[in-house]
Chain A
Amino acid sequence: MASSSAVTFDASAPWSLSPEVSLRDEAFGALAYHHGNRRLVFLKSRELVELVRRLGEFESADVAIGAVIAPGEHDRYVEALSLLVTSEILRGR
């Protein structure tokens, strides 16, 4: 198993989907597969999928969440993104 990366998630920094990751849409959201570390991760909502896809367009994860996700859910999505950083699905820009 790949060890958890030491990178921590700072939501005020810019992030994007790793170029090593493929996304496949599914009825529940999407599957994300990291070709390098071979991890398969389940993105369990359409909103999260859209956020992950568009993350790279924004100056920070906070701004991306503000633009894509309904207000009031900010903290939940920060947590979801931070898990995706741990599995290297996302990477800092």
Chain B
Amino acid sequence: MGADATLRDRFERGLAAPICLTWELTYACNLACTHCLSSSGRRDPDELTTAEAKSLIDEIAAMQIFYVNIGGGEPMIRRDFFELVEHAVGQKVGVKFSTNGTRIDAAAARRLAGIDYLDIQVSIDGADAATSDRIRGDGSYAQARRAMDNLKAADFGQFKISVVMTRESVEQLDEFEAMAKGYGAELRLTRLRPSGRGVQVWQELRPTAEQNRRLYQWLLGRPNVLTGDSFFHLSALGSPLEGLNLCGAGRVVCLIDPVGDVYACPFVIHEQFRAGNVRDAGFAQVWTNSELLRSLREPGSPGACGACGSYDACRGGCMAAKFFTGLELTDPDPECVFGHGETALAKKAPSSLPTTSPDHSRRIPVSISPR
């Protein structure tokens, strides 16, 4: 059901608990994607223990958060992965987890297929190995496809194929659609944001303005393609895309990172958007009382977008994209469809870029071989 304007106003003032809570289980990852939003690679020695993770799940259940988006790093690397998933779904906290697929062999696929309230999205960055591996590393595409084959063979049901839109992948929309159809899977497309390691590749990988317009048209005709509400800045081009069409950070969206730090959104892992830590007094306390989150729920000023006739559709775009490109939060989105973001970017000194975020990248990039 779509949200009307009054409902959106309510959402902008924040909800009793998030709708879209992401919990990154670990910073450890066996891939090293160039655009990784959490700069993952190495496990952090301070990651939540199994007992801490379970009590966090209990709290999530008590807050009536309907489902949690589990990510990483590669969540399946954690040895207690299945234990935690089962602990969550056992209390009817649905799990939607995001994986590079490397750990989904035939046995894991069968085990996953036996769990209720579980959704899986397997990430790729191209419809062929060459395109995808340029971003995710050699061999990664083949392993992701093998994971999809295994899920299909295990009768998992409808999993999701998740693709970040880059200058290359956006040219392969029809191929992704056909691939999803072949698996009986859903297609999920999300926006490339300059977060984590993405900050270094954003300029060269992001779709051009013309590609974004084509993407918008393509999506308009396909309401069943999932987007996680990530292209609402493109709604300024005309009719709104599916979704709430607002920046949910701290209002309906939140992130808990592997060490229990709470950030306003998965795309703003940076000290400036850190709201607290679940180890102090739990997650609910941070969600309700954090000064940062409360300030994000105040009515925002449309700033430089105030004069734009499309502000109601686009709300000035993505806070993370502005922040990591050095824009003010009241500036237009760097990918504003009318080019106002480019103008604002051109005026910024390079020194206005935020300093580095927590970085768990491995120092030596590895390549993986099929197991």
**Interface of A toward B, CB cutoff 8 Å:** 1, 22, 24-28, 31, 33, 35, 38, 40-42, 44, 83, 87
B17 within 8 Å of A (CB atoms): yes
Q: Nearest chain-B residue to A34 (Cβ)? A: B66
Complex formed: what's the CA distance from A31 to B13 in Å? 15
Find chain A residues with CB under 8 A from B3 CB: 42
- In addition to A26-B10, A83-B1, 9 A-B residue pairs with Cβ atoms within 8 Å of each other are A22-B66, A24-B17, A27-B10, A28-B7, A31-B66, A33-B66, A35-B66, A38-B94, A41-B1
Q: Which residues between 43 and 99 of chain B lie within 8 Å of chain A, taking CB atoms?
A: 64, 66-67, 92, 94
Chosen A-B contacts, 9 in total, with CB atoms closer than 8 Å, are: A22-B92, A27-B10, A31-B66, A33-B66, A33-B67, A35-B92, A35-B117, A38-B119, A87-B1
B15 within 8 Å of A (CB atoms): yes
Interface pair A26/B66, CB less than 8 Å apart = no
Find chain B residues with CB under 8 A from A22 CB: 64, 66, 92
Find chain A residues with CB under 8 A from B15 CB: 26, 31
Q: Nearest chain-A residue to B65 (Cβ)? A: A24
Find chain A residues with CB under 8 A from B6 CB: 28
With A1-B224, A31-B19, A38-B94 as known contacts, state yes or no: A24 contacts B1, CB within 8 Å.
Answer: no
B209 within 8 Å of A (CB atoms): no
**Interface of B toward A, CB cutoff 8 Å:** 1, 3, 6-7, 10, 13, 15-17, 19, 64, 66-67, 92, 94, 117, 119, 224
Kindly provide the distance from the CB of A62 to the nearest chain B CB, expressed in whole angstroms: 24
With A1-B224, A24-B17, A35-B94 as known contacts, state yes or no: A42 contacts B66, CB within 8 Å.
Answer: no
Q: Nearest chain-B residue to A27 (Cβ)? A: B10
Interface pair B19/A40, CB less than 8 Å apart = yes
- Chief secondary structure at chain B's binding surface: loop
Interface pair A42/B7, CB less than 8 Å apart = yes
With A33-B66, A38-B119 as known contacts, state yes or no: A24 contacts B7, CB within 8 Å.
Answer: no
Complex formed: what's the CA distance from A42 to B66 in Å? 13
Complex formed: what's the CA distance from A22 to B92 in Å? 9
Complex formed: what's the CA distance from A31 to B66 in Å? 10
Kindly provide the distance from the CB of B287 to the nearest chain A CB, expressed in whole angstroms: 13
Interface pair A26/B16, CB less than 8 Å apart = yes
With A1-B224, A40-B19 as known contacts, state yes or no: A24 contacts B66, CB within 8 Å.
Answer: yes
Interface pair A24/B16, CB less than 8 Å apart = yes
Find chain B residues with CB under 8 A from A42 CB: 1, 3, 7
Find chain A residues with CB under 8 A from B19 CB: 31, 40
Interface pair A28/B10, CB less than 8 Å apart = yes
Interface pair B66/A44, CB less than 8 Å apart = no
With A35-B117, A41-B1 as known contacts, state yes or no: A24 contacts B64, CB within 8 Å.
Answer: yes
Q: Nearest chain-A residue to B20 (Cβ)? A: A40
Kindly provide the distance from the CB of A75 to the nearest chain B CB, expressed in whole angstroms: 19
Kindly provide the distance from the CB of B13 to the nearest chain A CB, expressed in whole angstroms: 8
Interface pair B66/A40, CB less than 8 Å apart = yes
Kindly provide the distance from the CB of B228 to the nearest chain A CB, expressed in whole angstroms: 13
Which of B1, B16, B94, B224 meets A25, CB within 8 Å?
A: B16
Find chain B residues with CB under 8 A from A25 CB: 16
Q: Nearest chain-A residue to B2 (Cβ)? A: A42
Find chain A residues with CB under 8 A from B13 CB: 27
Find chain A residues with CB under 8 A from B92 CB: 22, 35
4 nearest interchain CB pairs?
A33-B66, A24-B64, A28-B10, A1-B224
Find chain B residues with CB under 8 A from A35 CB: 66, 92, 94, 117
Kindly provide the distance from the CB of B244 to the nearest chain A CB, expressed in whole angstroms: 10
Q: Nearest chain-B residue to A41 (Cβ)? A: B1
Complex formed: what's the CA distance from A26 to B13 in Å? 11
Complex formed: what's the CA distance from A28 to B3 in Å? 12
Complex formed: what's the CA distance from A55 to B1 in Å? 21
Q: Nearest chain-B residue to A1 (Cβ)? A: B224
Find chain A residues with CB under 8 A from B224 CB: 1
Find chain A residues with CB under 8 A from B1 CB: 41-42, 83, 87
